[in-house]
Amino acid sequence: MLTLSGRMAGIFWMVITGLMFVAVTAIVKYVGSDVPAAQAAFIRYALGLVFLIPMVRPILRARLTGAQHKVFWFRGFVHTIAIILWFYAMARIPLADVTAMNYLTPVYVTLAAALFMGEELPPRRIAAICAALIGALIILRPGLREVGLGHLAMVFVAMMFAASYLSAKVVSSQVSAAVVVGMLSITVTIFLIPFAYAVWVPVTHAQLGWLFLVACFATAGHYTMTLAFAAAPLTVTQPVTFLQLVWAVLLGTLVFGDPFDIWVIVGGVVIMGAVSFITWREAVARKRKAALPTS
């Protein structure tokens, strides 16, 4: 039974997670377009390999099969594309737009799980997916505002991250979390090498320092997110992620001079509401399944 202290701990760690990830987006935006997206992403992951040291032994002990290697390398490739596009978008569109459109990832996960993994897609979940897509249209407003390459990049970012998430789901029951995280870092760093080499420009020590901070905040964010998931179910922690949009709006407006766009907030609320509903319905479905008598 979930206690009040467990619920509060889950909320607390998810709030901290949101702050970590907003810090990541803010630093990437600050570095801006001075460093090409692929190069900035490579430097961030290469510097972040220092956090991989504790994961080396579990990876070696896992004795991964050929099928598992294929899943990990596929995940690394799609995650690489997502990371490059995300760095590209961060330098070109407001923080709030990036944050709001990131919320589409769980929606794509739900849709892809139904199409490719045989999971059920009942009418209520279909309605939630449609609502989320309407939220994305509210943010983009094609025909009413200029939809730049940064916005289009974020559409594909959410799709690629969804593919990465589902790939992780396939192997997460077979190997430890350390192996899943470690293999992602290794494969993404390797895949980024040719992209970074093609656009490489000289970087300053300050830029290296900022990108190392990105690696630190991203690693810390994934760790605190794990603590949040361990303390409370997704139905408690998922709605808290909406605070990231609030902080992104404030940071973008006050620090980076991004224009305040109320429709981005409205679209983000619609998407977040749909994601929270999907999360709640999945939790209800799991409880019902667990309550069924076994023969």
pLDDT at 136: 86
Residues 6+ apart with CB under 8 A from 119: 110, 113
The confidence score (pLDDT) of residue 295 equals 46
Q: Where are the domains of the chain?
A: 4-291
| Other beta carbons less than 10 A from residue 29's beta carbon | 24
Closest CA relative to residue 8, chosen from 221, 220, 240, 277: 240
> Mean of the per-residue pLDDT values for the chain?
85
Tens of pLDDT, residues 207-235: 999 999 999 998 888 788 878 877 777 66
Q: Residue 256 — φ and ψ, nearest 5°? A: -100, 0
SS3 145: strand
Output the pLDDT for position 274.
85
- Over 224-242, what HEC string results? HHHHHHHHCCHHHHHHHHH
- CA 241 to CA 238: how far, in whole Å? 6
Tokens of 224: 């605190």
What pLDDT sits at residue 291?
A: 60
End-to-end CA distance of the chain: 25
Q: What dihedral do alpha carbons 68, 232, 270, 90 form, nearest 10°?
A: -60
- Residue-wise pLDDT for 133-162, tens only, equals 898 888 888 766 777 888 899 999 999 999
Which tokens is 107 given?
A: 């929606």
Q: Is 41 helix (H, G, I), strand (E, B) or coil?
A: helix
With a cut of 70, which residues of the chain have pLDDT below it? 1-4, 143-144, 234-235, 285-286, 288-295
Q: Give dist(CA 272, CA 280) in Å, integer.
A: 12
Q: Which residues sit opposite 145 in a β-bridge?
A: 142
C-alpha distances in angstroms, 62 versus 10, 171, 173?
30, 12, 13
Which pLDDT score, from 0 to 100, does residue 153 have?
A: 93
Identity at 205, one-letter amino acid code = H
Burial of 117 (0-12, 13-18, 19+ CB in 10 A): exposed
- Cα 289 to Cα 2, 115, 220, distances in angstroms: 19, 21, 34
Give strand ranges (E) for the chain: none
Q: What is the pLDDT of residue 41?
A: 93
Distance CA 76, CA 85 (A): 14
pLDDT for the residue numbered 40: 93
